[in-house]
Structure 1
Amino acid sequence: MTLKTRLLAVAAAGLALTAPLAANAHRGWLLPSFTVLSGDGSWVTVDAAISNELFYPDHRPMRLDGVTVTAPDGSTQKLQNASTGQYRSTFDVQLNQAGTWKIGSASGTIQASWTENGEVKRFRGSPEDFASQVPAGAADLKTIRSFNRNETYVSRDKPSTEVFKPTGKGLELVPVTHPNDLVATETATFRFLVDGKPADGLEVTFIPGGSRWRASPGEIKVKASADGAVKFTLPEAGMYWVNTTVRSGEAGARGPG
């Protein structure tokens, strides 16, 4: 008899698609108390923090003003009982619809430099501020765009796919294998898009929780194929943090869309 050990929302426990990280950088994560539930009265509590050790709050809390909850039907639901402490923030989500819920934050940043009246000017901020603060036709303009996404997924009754519909903006996960259906030792597939196009060659890192108790992080690195697909096999059940990075830069261009 073959016993399948189900991964409790592996990736979903901390799917962080973020800007570049140094080897000892702090990591942002969202950790739900459950990832698969059933019944009309289902609730989930989520911890949110930025820490040195994965899923162990030891640095500072994550701000909740940028966190959104997307229900299976695409509607936005509010965070309930939200609070922020010294090392972590917490909030509750009432799962009043069957299907998969997306909980996370997304933001875009542009860095730019240009020459104005013989002086080098610099900018760092949102795409909206870039459009209004950086002169049109700026000389020697160079831009770097970073898009940060930090998400987790929770399913009630049965997984669904509506929350994975791509927007065509930034880095996005369009899973072939649902994050709440991953099984230890079985091959699974995620697909990544950048601005709606396959992320060919993208490197993705999977790190299991509990790293503070191990001599090494235990990370698994895989690269996406031409269609943006990443095939991976996770060795054991548990919560995993998934990280990948995309940065785009242009010289002599006005910048991203």
Structure 2
Amino acid sequence: MTHFRKLAAGVAVALALSAPAHAHRAWILPSTFTLSGDEQLITVDGAISNDLFFPNHVAMRLDDMKITAPDGTVTGVENGWTGKIRSTFDVTLDQQGTYKIGNGGNSFFASWEEDGERRRARGTYEGFKEEGVLDKDGVELTKMSRQTATFVTLGAPTDDVFATTGEGLEFTPVTHPNDVYTGEEITFGFTLDGAPIEGMEVEIVKGHDRYRDEQGTLELTTDADGQITFTLEESGRYWLETGTQGTTMVDGKEIGARSGYVITFEALSF
């Protein structure tokens, strides 16, 4: 198990933190965020695009998409389809409570000089070991971790899908993402390796920005409790992105580390 090493406070800060701004943004968007009844079915779109919730770049891969039910059961997608610029799949909701729908995981990126050329590779740490990549002169290794998620509730919201593992960047909401209303104070939280992460930048953008002259990005920074508190004035679907950049220890060696988290949610009017 690896963990982020906290940098000395006198050097800079515990971690170099940033919410990276990308021209292409990943998102998962369910047809409905909250439903009632005994059993329901939703359709979910996933893409990486220039405009939020408007597919125009590449489709999101579905091979590691996971559906976590309120009781912790994990399944794959139903009726998955991937085109050039969008993926679509179904999810059957047959348990009362909140589901997590998302993908992500860890990978490693290596860079080194060989025969006068810069070489780059992406893979697993074990794979790099077997291939001898870690033995290359001057190899630079970075651990990459990213999650893209959304949450859907059948009946009353529950919190089991927000249970933390104590490893990596995790979402710990105080306000349930399926209980967000305009004009009300909203509090979301994040932990890094089980501890609240302070000073992390968070961006929130209302969807369908293609049709606005101003993007209207809400820029926030996590406090000492790893939380952000904000109020939304307009109902609609929103996209949140945050991330960290620092170092981690693997096999007793310090390497670069980057983590990112993307969440889609909606705000309703009373």
Counterparts of 2:195 and 2:120, CA distance in 1: 30
Counterparts of 1:122 and 1:134, CA distance in 2: 13
Alignment match, 1:253: 253
Counterparts of 2:63 and 2:111, CA distance in 1: 29
| Mapped pair 1:189 → 2:187 | yes
Aligned Cα RMSD in Å? Answer: 2.8
Matches within 5 A, 1:97-246: 97-113=95-111, 123-133=121-131, 142-246=140-244
Alignment match, 1:83: 81
Mark the CA change 1:199 to 1:38 in structure 2 (over 3 Å): closer, same or farther: same
The question of whether the paired residues in 2 share the 8 Å contact of 1:142 and 1:250 is answered with no
TM-score if structure 2 supplies the norm length?
A: 0.78
Q: Which consecutive aligned stretches of 4+ in structure 1 deviate over 6 angstroms post-superposition?
A: 118-121, 135-139
The question of whether the paired residues in 1 share the 8 Å contact of 2:19 and 2:201 is answered with no
SS in 2 for 1:143: strand
Counterparts of 1:197 and 1:133, CA distance in 2: 35
Describe the superposition over 1:54-82 as per-residue Cα deviations: whole angstroms up to 9, x where unpaired: 00111121111011100000001231111
Counterparts of 1:114 and 1:247, CA distance in 2: 20
Mark the CA change 1:222 to 1:103 in structure 2 (over 3 Å): closer, same or farther: same
SS in 2 for 1:239: strand
Counterparts of 2:122 and 2:213, CA distance in 1: 38
Higher relative contact order (CA 8 A, sep 6+): 1
Alignment match, 1:20: 20
Counting aligned pairs with the same residue, the percent is: 43
| Structure 2: gaps of 5 or more residues | 1-17, 258-270
Counterparts of 1:139 and 1:200, CA distance in 2: 36
Counterpart residue type for residue 67 of structure 2: V
Describe the superposition over 1:170-205 as per-residue Cα deviations: whole angstroms up to 9, x where unpaired: 211010110000111211111101122211101000
Counterparts of 1:128 and 1:237, CA distance in 2: 46
The question of whether the paired residues in 2 share the 8 Å contact of 1:144 and 1:247 is answered with no
Counterparts of 1:250 and 1:158, CA distance in 2: 39
Instruction: Give the CA deviation at 1:98.
Output: 0.5
Counterpart residue type for residue 165 of structure 1: A
Instruction: Give the CA deviation at 1:133.
Output: 4.3
Counterparts of 2:57 and 2:256, CA distance in 1: 33
TM-score if structure 1 supplies the norm length?
A: 0.82
Counterparts of 2:20 and 2:127, CA distance in 1: 22
Counterparts of 1:19 and 1:231, CA distance in 2: 17
| Structure 1: gaps of 5 or more residues | 1-17
Aligned residue-pair number = 238
